[in-house]
Chains A and B, each alone.
Chain A
Amino acid sequence: MVRKNKPITAVLVMVLMSMLVLGGCASKKAGGEVVLGYVGPMTGPSATMGIATKQGAELAIEEINKAGGIMGKAIKFVTRDDEADPTKSKTAVQELIDKEKVQMMIGQPNSTCVAASEDYVNKNKIIQILNIATNTQLINAEKYPYTFRTFFPSPVQAEALVNIAKKAGFQKIVLLGDTTALGNDGIASLQAACKAAGITPVEAITYKSGDADMTPVAEKIKQAGADCALAWTLGADGAKIVSALSRIGYMDKLIYLGYTGLSLPNFRELAGNGIDRCYTITGFWSVDKASGATQLDKARQELYDKIVAKYGKYGPGGRTTAPQMVASGYEAIYLYKWAVETAGTFDPDAVKKVLETKISEFPLKVGTADTYRFSPTNHEAISGKDLVPVLLDPMLTTDKIFGDVYIRGSFTK
């Protein structure tokens, strides 16, 4: 009996051993995982921003996991759709932190959503990178020590807009903004930037976002005799104002220079003929055609090609997202990877310290600007000097704004 049982015992032992090994592998894998999270709108009006970030992050994570992860740990990426609703967003963020145990999050594109959950994120010492949200209040190195921004917030955009207008020599500048928090914030930023640049705007004109008819706004601009409108307007409102300006025959008398919210895929169709006098601003994701360039710089062009290869060309049935935004999601993941590896630990305080003190060493230059300016007291990466005016029409490969890479523009009075 005993003899007979020996092979069976051997088999059993082998099975048990292999289970242990496999089990060990499994448990090692579980311990070797780092969870990164993202909450953003995947449906609804701002879905294109939400999806863009997710696409970029997934692209980066795929590459990183293929190359061995972050310090040997594979990245698990968890995402939630918040439909740009602050309440839903907050719940989703809490879920990711409490249940999924994320260690780093890419911030929501919508500022109100970030605001709703930012306290919780920082209380739990989660490194948070805002790649799209622009509200000024969101960045505060003291209040939100773990939140960093790689995008340009209102004051930075305002500074850039005012400087561009000043350099071009405009005399009669009007400021445009809607009556929402966004518009008020924008107008305040523009006024502050004007003051800093020593410019007195002729008038600040407000309107109600989404209003059916923007002709009254156009009339006001005309009455003010403006030669430049610095516009803190959203795409559809902006297009309506431009179309109303053409409608009353004033569009050829001014330059319409808007903040980034002005970009909208079909801005050209909506705005009509005045489009060639409309500009927005952006960072280095723009092609300087005037100086003979036909492509982005090398690193950005490589990423652009990857984006097109993975998510398709912009257009119906293809990609709906802007490459610059996809790139910012992509870069956020690499930024975290770099900071962790430089710190040699996942400890949030160490990672934060690296971001604050060694950012100039970050090698990947595919974001908005080439140099980031984080410091222990400043968690904003971009300054007004990093932005350039770009044409709202046409884009490099498509006539849809948002859909592709901007062409730099230049104008003088």
Chain B
Amino acid sequence: MLKVENLTIAYGKTEVVHHVSFDVKKGSVVTIAGANGAGKSTILNTIVGLHRSKEGRILYKGEDITRTAPDKLVSKGIRLVPEGRQIFAEHTVEENMLLGAYVEKDAKKIRDRMDQMYDRFPRIKERRRQIAGTLSGGEQQMLAIARALMTAPDLLILDEPSLGLAPIIVKDVFKLLTEIKQTGVTILLVEQMVDNALSISDYAYVLETGKIVFSGTRDEVKNSDDIVKAYLGNV
């Protein structure tokens, strides 16, 4: 589904990601773990076209998308749920959903999709007339995910979906992601604290100061003492 080859990214003259390669197979859930500042968000932003890479290639369904504009990628089925949710706080909840479907011009499709989302997220439906900034953190995260699902993406990328949320809500979020996975959506996750993420992942990469230092299946990661100590806390 998504193949990243030899990706190098720089901010000005400072290289922050060095020759990173990884693979996300169709229908799988892949986690990229790493400490704050390892370059995880930079990689995601580069994949979705917000940032330009210095070197390397990004392939999506076999097609080179290295320099493709964000709106094209949305149409191709790649959606990012950004770090910190970034919902449009001054828009209503429903407007956030509509913005999620911005590239879709067919009003009926939007309507249908919105109904589907409302079925899946009854809390969001309840609050659809509310200003999005008034939602709780968990609700905002749900809204951010629902908003991304408005275009029925094939690849859903999430940047630290558990950030700043109460543990019980984090559980809900990951339960939701499992459900989304079951509908056939491929998921790429980035997390600092990966215990929850790992539980739903098929494969994981560990990133340290812009380099991949470890990769393996869920079980391989769990069996690596170093990694567990460094990133997984008390599993």
Direct contact of A and B (CB under 8 A): no
Q: Which residues of B contact A (CB under 8 A)?
A: none
